[in-house]
Copies of this chain bind each other. A is one copy, B any other.
Amino acid sequence: MDKLIEKAQILSEALPYIKKFYGTTMVIKYGGSAMIDAKLKETVIQDIVLMKYVGINPVVVHGGGNHISDLMKRLGKEVVFLDGLRVTDKETMDITEMVLTGAVNKEIVSLINLEGAKAVGISGKDGMLIQASKKVQSDNKDYGFVGQITKINPKIIEVLAQEGFIPVISPIGFSEDGHTYNINADIVAGEIAGALNASKLILLTDVRGVCRDMKDESTLISTLKISDLPSLKAEGIISDGMLPKMDSCIKAFETGVEKIHLIDGRIEHSILLELFTEGGIGTEILRG
């Protein structure tokens, strides 16, 4: 009985957080280890479903780079990266779209359904959600069908969320002249969070957060302001894969998001930890 009362006590301690987030929208960028490890997958999905039931409106944007490379290899197609970007010819684009919207997306939908909520998986083509154009690269190199967002039409997400569904979104854009574009999932999550006036954007990563020394977790920066970014970049603290995440953050703040959390998807129930316990985990990024 004492054990049970302690459990009830813990539930009860979540109340202030539940109140605080009630009725708000949160966009979760789901990727990395948390999309591969079976146990982590299970706890992420449970966290998302719990969010829905305690009155939060979760919107999931997923990545899936590994799955794309896997199929390309099986099809004997060479995977080419140039300066960290996947060179995407027409065939690569077709494979990317098929893997993301036809395999990764549907698996997430399936897992959410099995956990007891109702998900609907869409890509940026559905309801014309993500209008895009060929990404203009600063270096004038041609990476193929790598796109940048020109407009978000959030109506389809709003309709689904309002009717009780959890939207699961593949980061695929389309252009008015009929092309399909592969878009960085962090960027998509940031712009969608902005278009929905989300209260939070949660980025699941494979790191502990932003650390002064990425190899030493004890140097974790718990809170940083968007205005700190230039100096952090200059110092080399923010680099590589963290760069598009920070671009996503800047975009999200520009379009109305209040707070961003960069958390470690390798920890079980990392989303619940962030939302419903004191202090939170990872790096919290603020406007201003």
Interface residues in chain A, defined as those with a beta carbon under 8 Å from any beta carbon in chain B: 1, 4-5, 7-16, 18-19, 22, 43, 46-47, 49-50, 53-55, 74-75, 94, 97-103, 105-106, 109-110, 113-123, 125-128, 155-156, 159-160, 163, 165, 172, 174, 176, 178, 180, 267-269, 272-273, 276-277, 281
In the complex, A75 Cα to B72 Cα: how many Å?
10
Known contacts A75-B74, A110-B180, A125-B121; A12 and B97 CB within 8 A of each other: no
Cβ–Cβ contact B121 & A5, under 8 A: no
CB-CB under 8 A from A7, the residues of chain B are: 10, 13, 276-277
Chain B CB within 10 Å, residue with most, of A11, A43, A176: A11
Least Cβ–Cβ distance between A107 and chain B, in angstroms? 9
Some 5 contacts from A to B, beta carbons below 8 A apart, are: A8-B277, A19-B116, A74-B75, A98-B103, A110-B125
Q: Is the interface of A mostly helix, strand, loop or mixed?
A: helix
CB-CB under 8 A from A5, the residues of chain B are: 267-269, 273
Number of copies of this protein chain within its complex: 6
In the complex, A103 Cα to B160 Cα: how many Å?
22
In the complex, A177 Cα to B264 Cα: how many Å?
30
Least Cβ–Cβ distance between A244 and chain B, in angstroms? 24
Cβ–Cβ contact A53 & B15, under 8 A: yes
CB-CB under 8 A from A121, the residues of chain B are: 122-123, 125-126
CB-CB under 8 A from A4, the residues of chain B are: 273, 277, 281
CB-CB under 8 A from A119, the residues of chain B are: 126-127
Cβ–Cβ contact B102 & A12, under 8 A: no
CB-CB under 8 A from A55, the residues of chain B are: 53-55
Least Cβ–Cβ distance between A285 and chain B, in angstroms? 21
In the complex, A269 Cα to B10 Cα: how many Å?
10
Known: A8-B272, A120-B156, A121-B123. 6 other contacts (CB 8 A): A4-B277, A4-B281, A5-B268, A11-B14, A19-B49, A97-B106
